[in-house]
Amino acid sequence: MLLGLGRKKKATSLVENEEAEPIRAGLDVPGLEGLRSSREVEGASLEVLSPGLPPPPAGLRPRLVFHTQLAHGSPTGRIEGFSNVRELYAKIGEAFGIPVDEIMFCTLNTHKVDMDKLLGGQIGLEDFIFAHVKGQKKEVEVFKGDDALGLTITDNGAGYAFIKRIREGSTIEQIQIVNVGDMIESINGQPLIGCRHYEVARMLKELPKGREFSLKLVEPLKAFDMISQRCGGSRSGSAGSQLGTGRGTLRLRAKGPATVEELPSAFEEKAIEKVDDLLESYMGIRDSELAATMVELGKDKRNPDEFAEALDETLGDFAFPDEFVFDVWGAIGDAKVGRL
């Protein structure tokens, strides 16, 4: 069994547009008769006609145009021409005339701070993007009386880590000023801008028990109807929400172009949810894109050793213990036979 499994997860790659609308509606587009839609072949990319064939000329490739608003309220903007999360945020910044570093994260089809709707590894072709920008800054002193603080951390793929879940009855749950969606700006004065979720989770875990520490947080700017709420949805959230509207999804990948695919199969949905749960249990993070990548790597492997080798080749910066790898392998296997 291999140790030190990992990957350096780069900003997720996106494709955008609008002239994809004739394809979404099933209309004929001159010059694109050979292009397969996502509903015809699972996992088919908009950029390929079939395996081994070159992509169509740039002028014939459909553009994906997405509609967007600022979550606290704004006119509707249209964005296209981005290829990863950082470029997506830059396009949103351009559309609304705001600095890109003001954008904390995006949710799909809701303006609320709903972590179940967080833009992650998949985005439906008809999803509406809401951008959450920085609001009030706050600082809190926390006494670490237990080994676990009750926080689950995620990040936006562009340098900001924030709180995705707060466990009921935990140390943090007792501090009303700390909310789901808050960006963690620093711990004990150490800046965290640019850190990944697992790095922040590790720092919190390694804080000495029985001592106080300081957190500097930034909450997302809220619309009027959100001011009184402490978090979007349930306090702890749930992992199984499905993105998209049934017309296919845009699969965001750390390496290579984004691809338009069918919605995940029942097996994939179950396996991704379980692997995401294991990431939270072992590492204190939730990352549906990472979970989906692990499921994709493991679903065709014959044994755990092959799976571990695939993780070594594809992932970086993570150090998954053998026990975790075996649990993930078991979860994928259980999903295949419908035991989850």
Kindly write down the DSSP assignment for every residue of 229-249, as one continuous string: -SSSSSSS--S----S-SS-E
H helices of 235-321, where?
266-283, 288-298, 304-314
Q: Would you state the pLDDT for residue 247?
A: 54
Segments of the chain with pLDDT less than 50: 1-52, 60-61, 230, 232-246
Residue pair 250/14 in contact (Cβ under 8 Å)? The answer is yes
Angle of helix 304-314 relative to helix 288-298, nearest 10 degrees?
130
Task: List pLDDT tens digits, range 119-163.
Answer: 876 777 889 999 999 999 999 999 999 888 999 999 988 899 999
Two tokens at 330? 């078991």
Q: Would you state the pLDDT for residue 257?
A: 60
Separation CA 72–CA 135 (nearest Å) = 10
Q: Would you state the pLDDT for residue 6?
A: 44
- The answer to whether the pTM exceeds 0.95 is no
Separation CA 263–CA 260 (nearest Å) = 9
